[in-house]
Structure 1
Amino acid sequence: MVEEAHETSITRWDPDTSLWKFSPQNHGKEITDNNPYVNIVDIGEFDKMSTLYPYPTYPKLMASEESFKRYFGPMHAEVKGDPFHYMGSIKKGKEIQNKLASGEIVPKVSKEREEDLLKLKMEIKSYARELNMPAMGVTKVDRRYISDEKDHLVPYDTIIIFAPEMPLENVKGIPNNIKTLSAFDSYREGGENILKIADFIRSKGYRCLPRMSFDGEIKLPPHAVNAGMGNYSTYGICIIPEVGTRSKLVALLIDAELPLDDPRDWNIEEFCSRCRMCQKSCPGGSIPKEEKRFRGALKRQADYHRCLEQMTTSKECMRCVRVCPFSIIGYEKCMDSLPHYYRYNLERDKINKLKLLKMKECE
């Protein structure tokens, strides 16, 4: 077993054999370790935590179907008139996802393969936009973000992240004019559409596996940051310029070496540090004001117990999304509100530094 291990492999506990085993090579580790926008301050600690305390798939309140029905069923019945309005399609999508991952379902893949991988990537992106997914990024899976040691469900190392868009008018109705449950709409529609994209990719000659939004087996926000789609928000999700926080990410694992996207500084934290409206308006007090060290990284770890309590008693809550300027007025207007000097990352962008310094003096 030792001979098969790569230096980036993670030791995993196998309950079936009561032995430690090694994960496959962790191709995404180098990207994460060298990405300043995920704020890892101690790589060794992050590695150790991933081995000893792997991420859970779900928060405890959502860990079983029974507890989910108990807490979310009444809310769905109140807003939609049916406690299973969302549960049926979400459950069906999850079952398809799991059967695909386990090999119980083996879909047909076209024998004619698109050899131009850049063209394939652009075709996938274009098709996703037709399905209301305006943002897409490609990176390598970092197996430290795989929950509950489920490496066997992740046979491919390239991951495509998509950001479905919640309708702006629905989010603007929060909290006094709620006509639908925007988050659960996104869970359901994103799950249905990621299956369509999977079929599209198979028609191009490649195998792939969908990962639904209502699924925590792979943590998607850090992969979105690694793929250059955005940067972390105050409460830990990835703010994406095209949609702000009005999204529930979905993904596909693909057996193609698609061109990767680089991490990028979108100057989002520069704006968030002056805003913090999500933290100020959270009725459950689940969003911390300051960063703290957590699992070897600096981050604002939201208290999901408080968050879920608020969700189940306040029709999803969603205040954090409703008050986020990126979600309501858009990325460009948020950037326009910053002093011009702070709109640039001087270490990465080729810009006229003297001109910017002069502009700063005039502000």
Structure 2
Amino acid sequence: VYTGEMYEYRKQHDKDNKPLIEAAFVSGDIKPEAEPIVGKDVTEEIRKKARELGFGEVGFTKYDRRYTYKSKKGWVKYEHAICLALEQDYWQTQTIPSMQAEFAHFGTYEEEGAYALELAEFIRSLGYGAQVHSPNDNSAAYIPMFVEAGLGQLGANGQLLSPHFGSRARLMIISTDAEVTYDEPVDYGIHKFCEQCQVCVNRCPGRALVKEKVWWRGAEKHKLMYDRCRPVMATYEGCGVCMLVCPIQRYGMPSVMEHFVETGDILGKGTHNLEGFEIRGKGYFGPDELPSFDRGFFDFPHGTKDEWLFDQFKKKLEERGSASEDDAKEFADELAEILTEKTGYDAGL
């Protein structure tokens, strides 16, 4: 579904990012470089170093294994989570959906992946283990841990709304056995604000966000309808309109919350400045305007990448009765790429 430009960019990004993912995958196996000072709390040393590297949000909490993905259940080594958020470029973000915004999106992942490897080295120099959870090979659903670490709250758009840059952040974690003190959750008033705001819900091009919260997997939240979201994301440069139109992302939490408390109104709501966006090939959409899609647009592949690949290969065999050498090679190459992405190891077949 990608445009040619987007496909080539993602291909290059994956190539550039591969060494970072591989280094992160084995980072937990590297031994500390020194003996720790027994009884010394190193929380603030790590926080200071993380901020020097460029991370805007840094928090400490327990690594909550309830949120670990099935594929990473046996991989996570340490009990403490260092939650790290790196801000993506403000002005590029305001061009969502666009290639410029995607450059900011994926470029930020590349930057923080490298910063985290450096931070892990620093933690080892203090005498402790450090396991980097690559932002491009996530081990878990991270937002609940960021909330526990006091770094924000879950917004109606399904993203972490942080006090410093709203949802304009890319999240990752380093787990460690270092002696650290956990931060506490903070009620920033996001839940009450989102109940009244609803701009992201109303402006979603795919109508994928819902107004009312539901209980889902043990949490009360605004549930994203994946089948309505993913086709738009894949077709239109990652979409991200829900990030773009969030007042907290656009204007900053202090300004938005002060305005909300003083007036009861949502800063920017109903204006072109906040709610306007343009979609390639469909034009500009201001307040109360949304694009339309034909019914087949949302007929999208389900399952994992390898399941989809096998399904497509099976259909090709059924249609043709056999597979050529070129078909078989193409299938093997694509499968190897998927397995490499999933495992972190080169799975050349």
User: What is the TM-score of this pair, normalised by structure 1?
Assistant: 0.67
Whether 1:86 aligns to 2:8 is no
The 5 A counterparts of 1:225-240 are 225-240=147-162
1:255 pairs with one of 160, 165, 177: 177
Name 1:109's counterpart in structure 2: 32
Structure 1's 180 and 220: CA in aligned 2 closer, same or farther, altered over 3 A?
closer
Name 2:109's counterpart in structure 1: 187
Name 1:292's counterpart in structure 2: 214
How big is each residue's C-alpha offset from its partner over 1:78-123, in whole Å with a ceiling of 9 and x where there is no partner? 159544221113332222222334x4xx3x52224355754x2222
Name 2:226's counterpart in structure 1: 304
SS at match of 1:164: strand
Name 2:237's counterpart in structure 1: 315
Name 2:137's counterpart in structure 1: 215
The 5 A counterparts of 1:88-237 are 88-101=15-28, 103=29, 106=30, 108-114=31-37, 117-118=40-41, 120-148=42-70, 150-175=72-97, 178=100, 180-237=102-159
1:264 pairs with one of 186, 193, 202: 186
- Counterpart code for 2:222: R
Offset of residue 149 of structure 1: 6.3
Q: Distance in 2 between matches of 1:216 and 1:268?
A: 25
Structure 1's 143 and 83: CA in aligned 2 closer, same or farther, altered over 3 A?
closer
Offset of residue 174 of structure 1: 2.1
Does the 8 Å contact 2:36/2:128 carry over to 1?
yes
Offset of residue 172 of structure 1: 1.4
Structure 1's 179 and 257: CA in aligned 2 closer, same or farther, altered over 3 A?
closer
Offset of residue 177 of structure 1: 7.9
How big is each residue's C-alpha offset from its partner over 1:195-216, in whole Å with a ceiling of 9 and x where there is no partner? 1111111122211100122233
Name 2:285's counterpart in structure 1: none
Q: Distance in 1 between matches of 2:163 and 2:7?
A: 31
Structure 1's 114 and 173: CA in aligned 2 closer, same or farther, altered over 3 A?
farther
Whether 1:244 aligns to 2:166 is yes
Q: Distance in 1 between matches of 2:133 and 2:116?
A: 8
Q: Distance in 2 between matches of 1:303 and 1:341?
A: 32
Name 1:12's counterpart in structure 2: none
User: What is the TM-score of this pair, normalised by structure 2?
Assistant: 0.70
Offset of residue 157 of structure 1: 0.6
Name 1:334's counterpart in structure 2: 256
Structure 1's 83 and 332: CA in aligned 2 closer, same or farther, altered over 3 A?
closer
Structure 1's 319 and 116: CA in aligned 2 closer, same or farther, altered over 3 A?
farther
- Counterpart code for 1:109: P
SS at match of 1:301: coil
RMSD of the TM alignment (CA)?
2.3
How big is each residue's C-alpha offset from its partner over 1:307-355, in whole Å with a ceiling of 9 and x where there is no partner? 222111111111111111111110100111122599xxxxxxxxxxxxx
Instruction: Using the aligned pairs only, state the percent identity.
Output: 31
